[in-house]
A and B are shown apart, each in its own frame.
Chain A
């Protein structure tokens, strides 16, 4: 850093313009394809603006009415924003709790010099693989495998575990569990690798001296590993939450966009997506987006804080 400052004293006059030239493409594209649409989204959220058949209604300024609608009991008898936020949170938790427990355990196994696990590269390769699978194809696969005439029902019947096919895709509990299972499979490998890197970043001498002091492995975990891993753990945890808020492909394709049964698996982005379909309800979709943005901004600021405290 010191060096670049010295350079700048001599050279900044002749080269500064190149800095601007090199960042122009990024900012031109950012403003046209991201920032402007974002501002338009926020702007829309204060307008009545949708399509009804062939007619376009609006745009008429309605103030905060779209936001009020999101928090008003609808025809089906629930408050949409609350219901879908809860759905999203529940679906995330079902996948994330086992994800973090398993990933933490695996990270400890892989880094333990005492256990000295062989074939780590193989195991890591296998458990990370589902992360790269096309989520929509993965969901379609689960739909085919768990359908009433699908292989899983056939297998369970052949094994004698059940005598009648289970309607996995028609029950609230099983649909949510399947979505949780898919999210778990897609993300636990990724989390394991990140937590592992975090543990490996801890000074080996600390573990060594704790061992010489006769600490048990549980003591080492709670007194050394976990406190020092905390910034990275929080980072991974909150990014997982931010990813959870954006959950879409898996429940969308698994339930054909309907969030069956009875909208119990409709997530926030699925709700947003419904407004962008035939009805082109830019007003309501805008309001949902703004709320999404606020939730994410709060979570992101926690991430930044944790990263900065990790630097100290």
Chain B
């Protein structure tokens, strides 16, 4: 009797396991399917693409790559260079200055300390689009459109990154360490740069990745600020693909351009997926 109950429980467990794995495999398939199609289509010529649907890659990958790289209208090498510059500089500035600000409000005691901290938390949720109108107006007024640094510098003030750094400091930095360094005669900037920053390396790495990906993918502001071909970033170029006369395109090249647009982030993700996924939780949920 007891054996029967165990057996039926076992069968029940087996069935629920099968169902769960089926759901997981289906969802994984859904996540990969469209990107796989993109990859397959980037290996086919325009004629092959018109010919019909297939899941088997063809031989035109390098031809499409050559055509996309040397396209007359969409200068993807320049776009990738621009995007890379903006993304890497934003990532460095946002992590360094957020860490500096977090250190400032954590280690030092000054009158406005608490107010400053609460203020930064309060502005964290304001969507960046709310400042866009004034930002665009000023950019046009002072002739700063098409200047890439205008996309980089604002990243110095990033409330969400500050919040993350502050929490990390609270959890990892013993104040005695700062004290000891002071007794050794280090000045405050050197203490931060040479002792605190190394301790914060893991937090800086995670936030650099997210910041890099965020600005690499950013479309809203760049699309409003950049209209000269030589300063356009990748997302702005990809969007112009959509607005151009579609029927004239070599579709193999279009798929290849999309592949190029997402490939750098994909490579980063494949290498660092473990720490990125860990970073998702540590960054956003308190506790």
Contact = CB atoms under 8 A, between A and B. Distances in A.
A253 B17 CA distance: 40
A8 interface: yes
A158 interface: yes
Q: What DSSP secondary structure best describes chain B's contact surface?
A: helix
A296 B238 contact: no
A143 to B, nearest CB: 6
Interface string B198-228: 0000000000000001001101100110000
Given A33-B153, A253-B242, A185 B265 contact: no
Q: What DSSP secondary structure best describes chain A's contact surface?
A: helix
A145 interface: yes
A245 B129 CA distance: 10
A140 B258 contact: yes
Interface in A171-202: 185, 188-190, 193-194, 196-198, 201
Contacts of A193: 277, 280-281
A25 interface: yes
A7 B108 CA distance: 9
A181 B22 CA distance: 20
B131 A37 contact: yes
Contacts of A257: 243
B195 interface: no
A102 to B, nearest CB: 7
Contacts of B24: 106, 109, 117, 123
Contact of A310 (B28, B53, B239, B286): B286
B92 interface: no
A4 interface: yes
B31 interface: yes
Contacts of B5: none
B104 interface: yes
A48 interface: no
Please indicate which of the listed interface residues B31, B179, B261 has the most CB atoms of chain A within 10 Å of its own CB.
B31
A307 interface: yes
A23 interface: yes
Please indicate which of the listed interface residues A20, A136, A289, A300 has the most CB atoms of chain B within 10 Å of its own CB.
A136
B138 interface: yes
Contact of B153 (A29, A121, A139): A29
A133 B125 contact: no
Contact of A245 (B127, B217, B280): B127
Interface residues of A, number: 111
Contacts of B138: 36-37, 40
B234 to A, nearest CB: 7
Contacts of B113: 19
Contacts of B53: 151, 154-155, 158
Contact of B31 (A11, A105, A185, A297): A185
Given A23-B116, A33-B154, A136-B239, 10 more contacts: A18-B104, A26-B156, A125-B273, A135-B219, A136-B219, A193-B281, A249-B235, A269-B220, A285-B132, A300-B125
Interface of B: 13, 16-17, 20-21, 23-24, 27-28, 30-32, 34-35, 37-38, 41, 49-50, 52-53, 97-98, 100-101, 103-105, 107-113, 116, 120, 123, 125-127, 129-138, 140, 153-154, 156-157, 162, 175-176, 179, 188, 192, 213, 216-217, 219-220, 223-224, 234-235, 238-239, 241-243, 246, 251, 254-255, 258, 261-262, 265-266, 269, 273-274, 276-277, 280-281, 284-287
Interface of A: 3-4, 7-8, 11-12, 15-23, 25-27, 29-30, 33-41, 43-44, 102, 105-106, 109, 114-115, 117, 121, 123-130, 132-145, 147, 149, 151, 154-155, 158, 185, 188-190, 193-194, 196-198, 201, 232, 235-236, 239, 242, 245-246, 248-249, 252-254, 256-257, 269, 272-273, 276, 280, 282, 285-286, 289-290, 292-293, 296-297, 299-300, 303, 307, 310-311
